[in-house]
Structures are given as C-alpha cells and as structure tokens.
Amino acid sequence: MRALWIENGLLRLRDDVARPAPAGGEALVRVRLAGICNTDLELVKGYMPFRGVPGHEFVGTVESAPGYEEWVSRRVVGEINAVCGSCEMCLRGWPRHCEQRTVLGIAERDGAFAEFLCLPVANLHSVPDAVGDDVATFVEPLAAALEVQEQVPIRSGAQVVVIGDGKLGQLVAAALVVAGVRLTLVGREARQRPLLAPHGIASVPSSALAERRADVVVECTGNPEGLALALRLVRPRGTVVMKSTYATVTELNASVIIVDEITLVGSRCGPFAAALDLLATGKIDPLPLVTARYPLEQGVEAFAQAARPGVGKVLLAP
C-alpha cells in the first residue's frame, strides 16, 4: 500500500509498505482522512525514536474485523493507545500508561498516513452521521483538549490562561469556554481566532497579563519557551498543565516551582465519547481550523505546509 514513512529523520512517500493484517481482536480500517498535528512534525525531528508510518488523527471505514463482523462498514475514529489489559497500569485502571502499549503512528504501531491501519476493536468509536469526515479528524485532538478538565478541577470564577493560539490551544480554549470557564488566550499578538470568534474571545499578547495571577495555566505553544511563560503567569499554589510535545530539551526553573508550590500536570490523551458528543451537537465546530487538504501522494509537501508558522490543520486524503 501507499504510505508516508519516517526513518532516520527523513519523511518520504512509499508505495511498497505491507498492508497491515489485523491480529486477534483488531480491525483493519481503510483511512478516509487524517490530520497532521505538531506531534507528527516533532517525530520527524526525533521527538521519539520512531520508524514507520506516522499519523494518529483519522477517520476511516472498517474493512474487516474477524470475530467482530458487526463493525464492518462502520465509519470510525480510534483511540491511539493499544494496550495489553493485564499489566500493573492496566489493572489499576490506567490503560493509557500500559507498560506494553503501542501507540498509533507514534510508538511501535504504524499510523494513519496510509491507505490502511489496524487498531483493536475496543479502541474504535462509531462516528455519528451528523459528523462529517473533516470534523471527525478532530476527535482525537479535541479529546486531548478535554483531558485538561478531567485532570484538573477548575472552580467557578477561576482565572484560567491558555498559552498558544494555534490548533491545540484553540481547541483547549473552546472546550473550556463550552464548560463555562472564563479564560484568557495568549498568542504572540492580539488577533481574532475563527474557532473562538462566536464566543467573543481573541488572543492577547503575554505582555497584557499580570504575572503570578492565574489559577490554572494550560501550555499549548509547542515550544520550550511556553513552559517558562506559564511559570511566570501562574500564581503561588496554582497549576500548570503541560500539553506541548517537542523534540528539544526543556530547561526548568525548579526553585520557582518549589518556592511557589506550583503543581505541574502532564496531559495527553482524553475522552473520545465526550469529544464526539461536542462535535455531533455542534457545540464546537473545528472546521475554521482547516487550512488545506492534500492527497497522500503529496504528503511530504503537506508536512512542509503544516510546519509553516500560523498554518491551521492540514488534512491528508489517501
């Protein structure tokens, strides 16, 4: 099959990648559409020692599912962590931290920038008819945005700051607004963001904010400087949620964290069912984030486009 392939920091298109075969309990999914995210860009830079097909934001159609034939022909999205179900982390109810897990397009499992992929049937979620393919590609990143609220109890009236007005930052901000949280979105300059325009929220530069005042700061910049800014903005005994992934090493001022008793929370995958509900009901419409769509054959060019500053979501269609 055709697929994008990462190896030794090089991304290329191949037409000789073996079509995956589902193992026990897995489904073969024909990819309809997939989205490029910052993690994919960082994989090319060496964020993880990954060799294979990247891509984890997708919508597809189940081609086969041995033993689970009722899934065949369903349009689906899929949670990206394939787990063992029997290790200590799984038994504790923390399967996303399974000691034997593979991660779609990120660790030990070929991903969605291909004609086909395989995932456990248990990972799949049917996509409602009301959710189009373009919108469905946002289920995974929106779920990751919702995880912030799963991890951090945010009281009414809390001062919440989201740093980074790119794709992830806007999704995090939109999810918080829908939940009734009052927030400030920080970008490099003051500007209106289409996803948040219906809520009357525009991004503001960090210079417009007072330091050490925010109760919760969510860092979504995709670069190490974002964490340093978050630590300046959060109040003593406040919480910083770290959403960014990047290949470079981050320097951390541990003294500030200790003296101000700041809580750091790492955050990644989140609840798919809740994300699907928000998209199906139209409470969040991510389509303003889409910048371009490319065929898989132009995947290398699509990555170059996605890496340009200020570019929104770039989609790949196998």
Sequence-ordered list of residues with C-beta below 8 angstroms from that of 289, at least 6 positions apart, any chain = 138, 167, 170, 171, 194, 195, 312, 313
Average pLDDT over residues 98-106: 97
Q: Is the pLDDT of residue 188 over 90?
A: no
Q: Is the pLDDT of residue 48 over 90?
A: no
Give yes or no for a contact between 189 and 212, defined as CB atoms under 8 angstroms apart. Answer: no
Instruction: Please report where in the chains the tokens 């949280």 appear, as a residue.
Output: 181
Q: d(Cα 165, Cα 59) in Å, to the nearest integer? A: 25
Q: Where are the domains of the chain?
A: 3-138+286-317, 143-266
Measured distance between the N- and C-terminal CA atoms of the chain, rounded to whole angstroms = 10
pLDDT at 252: 85
Domain covering 143-266 in this structure, CATH number: 3.40.50.720
What top-level class would CATH report for the domain 3-138+286-317? alpha beta
Query: Counting beta carbons within 10 angstroms of the beta carbon of residue 177, is it exposed (0 to 12), middle (13 to 18) or buried (19 or more)?
Result: buried
Separation in Å, CA 223 to CA 228, 243, 267, 310? 10, 10, 15, 14
Average pLDDT over residues 113-128: 98
Give yes or no for a contact between 161 and 186, defined as CB atoms under 8 angstroms apart. Answer: yes
Give yes or no for a contact between 25 and 121, defined as CB atoms under 8 angstroms apart. Answer: yes
User: In this predicted model, what pLDDT tens digit does every residue of 217-238 receive, in sequence order?
Assistant: 999 998 889 999 999 999 999 9
Q: Do domains 3-138+286-317 and 143-266 have the same CATH topology?
A: no
Q: Is the pLDDT of residue 200 over 90?
A: no
Q: d(Cα 7, Cα 128) in Å, to the nearest integer? A: 36
Report angle CA 266, 269, 270 to the nearest 5 degrees: 110
Mean pLDDT score of the chain, rounded to an integer?
A: 95
User: In this predicted model, what pLDDT tens digit does every residue of 27-38 receive, in sequence order?
Assistant: 999 999 999 999
pLDDT band with cut points at 50, 70 and 90 for residue 297: very high
More confident position, 200 or 161? 161
Average pLDDT over residues 184-208: 90
Give yes or no for a contact between 291 and 297, defined as CB atoms under 8 angstroms apart. Answer: no
User: In this predicted model, what pLDDT tens digit does every residue of 60-97 receive, in sequence order?
Assistant: 999 999 999 999 999 999 999 999 999 999 999 999 99
Instruction: Tell me, yes or no, if the pTM score tops 0.85.
Output: yes
